[in-house]
């Protein structure tokens, strides 16, 4: 939102000058009191504009932990979608190359990267089923309808010992990729379930709808 304008919501109106504060309390015209703090990257990330669905944070965390990518790593990301995965991963690695065949997706992904002032992502319009125009990447992340069609291109792009992670909503997608990826070592396929709990006074129970399925993650390594 534009902090140079008053903010209107169901709890009232917040004055622009109050929104410019970085900490403390502010009140709406209806007397509702709120705390104001400076937004972290994750606060901002949760509000990015989406042209396509993004990979959930719980799954992105798994990718970082299992592949061990770091400040010297090169990552390829296909497809870009809204740029969520590329923006998140770019904070931890040297370079991210993000590819998508959809121009609208690329434009939104670029806007999100600009919003975060991230400069180590390069976006390109590419059909990764035909080619992935980088080589010797440490990690290739595929979030595609038919990821098995990118196996040939992936084999050229990923360095020896590098990782491929497939994110897919259907287990049959994972099954077909694994069955066709003969040049890669299948390490494991997982589904990350996040179960949030409500703790309020004497009430302790799981929150409803907190463990909804998001997708499957297939972890492979080039051998």
Decide: pTM greater than 0.85.
Answer: yes
Same-domain check for residues 200 and 156: yes
156 in a structural domain: yes
93-141: pLDDT as tens digits: 999 999 999 999 999 999 999 999 999 999 999 999 999 999 999 999 9
**Angle in degrees, CA 127, 128, 132, rounded to 5:** 120
Residue 31: CB partners within 8 Å, gap ≥ 6?
Answer: 12
Does residue 74 share a domain with residue 34? no
Structure tokens at 63: 């990718």
Instruction: Tell me, yes or no, whether 139 and 218 share the same domain.
Output: yes
User: How many domains does the chain divide into?
Assistant: 2
Query: Which residues are 203's β-sheet partners?
Result: 200
CATH classification of the domain holding 138: 3.40.50.150
Same domain, 140 and 184: yes
What is the per-residue pLDDT for 2? 63
**Pair (59, 164) in one structural domain:** yes
Same domain flag for 140 and 31: no
Residues 19 and 118 in one domain: no
Q: Using one digit for the tens of pLDDT, what is the confidence trace for 57-68?
A: 999 999 999 999
List the domain range (segments joined by +) for residue 201. 44-222
Mean pLDDT of 138-163: 98
How far, in whole angstroms, is CA 100 from its chain's centroid?
Answer: 15
Q: Does 2 map to a domain?
A: no
């Amino acid at each position: 939102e534009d902090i140079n304008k008053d903010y209107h919501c169901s709890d009232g109106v917040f004055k622009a000058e109050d929104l410019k504060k970085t900490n403390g309390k502010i009140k709406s015209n209806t007397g509702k009191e709120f705390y104001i703090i400076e937004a972290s990257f994750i606060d901002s990330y949760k509000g990015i504009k989406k042209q396509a669905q993004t990979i959930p944070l719980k799954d992105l965390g798994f990718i970082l932990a299992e592949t061990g990518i770091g400040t010297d790593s090169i990552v390829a990301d296909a497809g870009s979608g809204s740029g969520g995965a590329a923006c998140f991963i770019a904070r931890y690695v040297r370079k991210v190359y993000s590819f998508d065949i959809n121009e609208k997706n690329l434009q939104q992904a670029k806007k999100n990267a600009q919003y975060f002032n991230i400069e180590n992502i390069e976006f390109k319009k590419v059909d990764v089923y035909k080619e992935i125009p980088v080589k010797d990447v440490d990690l290739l992340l595929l979030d595609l309808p038919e990821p098995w069609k990118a196996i040939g291109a992936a084999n050229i792009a990923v360095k020896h010992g590098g990782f491929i992670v497939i994110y897919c909503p259907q287990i049959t997608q994972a099954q077909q990729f694994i069955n066709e990826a003969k040049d890669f070592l299948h390490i494991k396929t997982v589904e990350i379930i996040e179960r949030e709990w409500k703790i309020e006074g004497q009430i302790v129970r799981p929150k409803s709808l907190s463990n909804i399925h998001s997708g499957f993650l297939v972890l492979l390594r080039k051998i």
